[in-house]
Amino acid sequence: MEIGKMYVNGEWILARGNGTREIMNPANGEVIKIVTEATAEDAEAAIETARRTFDSGIWSQLRPEERAMFLYKIADEIERSKEELAQLETLNNGKPLGEAISDVETAADAFRYYAGLTRTAFGETFDSSLDSIVVKQAVGVCALIVPWNFPLQMAAWKLAPCLAAGNVAVFKPAEITPLTAIKLFEIIEKVQLPKGVCNLVLGSGQVIGDIMTSHHEVDKVSFTGGTETGKKVMTNALRTMKKVTLELGGKSPIVVFPDTDLEKTAEYILFAIFLGAGQICSAGSRLIVHESIAFELTSLLVKHTQKIVVGNGLDTGVQMGPVSSIQHMHKVLAMIERAKEDGAVLLTGGNRINKVSLDKGYFIEPTIFSVEDNQIEIVQEEVFGPVLTIQTFKDEAEAICLANSTKFGLAGAVFTKGFSRAMRMSKHIRSGTVWINKYHSVNNQLPWGGFNQSGFGRDLGKDALNEYLETKVIQMNLSDSALGFYDSFK
14-17: long-range contacts at Cβ-Cβ below 8 A with a sequence spacing of 24 or more? 15/39, 15/42, 15/202, 15/203, 16/41, 16/42
Helix (H, G, I), strand (E, B) or coil at 245: strand
**Which residues form the catalytic set?**
247
DSSP 349-416: --SB---GGGTTS--B--EEEE---TTSHHHHS---SSEEEEEEESSHHHHHHHHT-SS--SEEEEE-
DSSP 308-333: --BS-TTSTT--B---S-HHHHHHHH
Q: How many CB atoms lie within 10 A of CB 478?
A: 10
Q: How many CB atoms lie within 10 A of CB 78?
A: 25
Burial of 289 (0-12, 13-18, 19+ CB in 10 A): buried
Helix (H, G, I), strand (E, B) or coil at 477: coil
CA quadruple 44, 49, 54, 55: dihedral positive or negative? positive
User: Quick one: which of 234, 345, 347, 237 has its CA closest to 300?
Assistant: 347
> In sequence order, which ranges of 222-356 are alpha helices (DSSP H)?
227-238, 262-274, 294-305, 326-341
Asked if 301 and 266 count as a contact pair (C-beta separation under 8 A), the reply is yes
Residue 346: which H helix or E strand, with range?
Answer: strand 345-348
User: Quick one: which of 388, 172, 358 has its CA closest to 280?
Assistant: 388
User: Quick one: which of 316, 286, 257, 300 has its CA closest to 410?
Assistant: 286
327-333: long-range contacts at Cβ-Cβ below 8 A with a sequence spacing of 24 or more? 328/279, 328/362, 328/384, 328/385, 329/362, 329/363, 329/364, 331/385, 332/364, 332/383, 332/384, 332/385, 332/386, 332/387, 333/364
Q: How many CB atoms lie within 10 A of CB 348?
A: 17
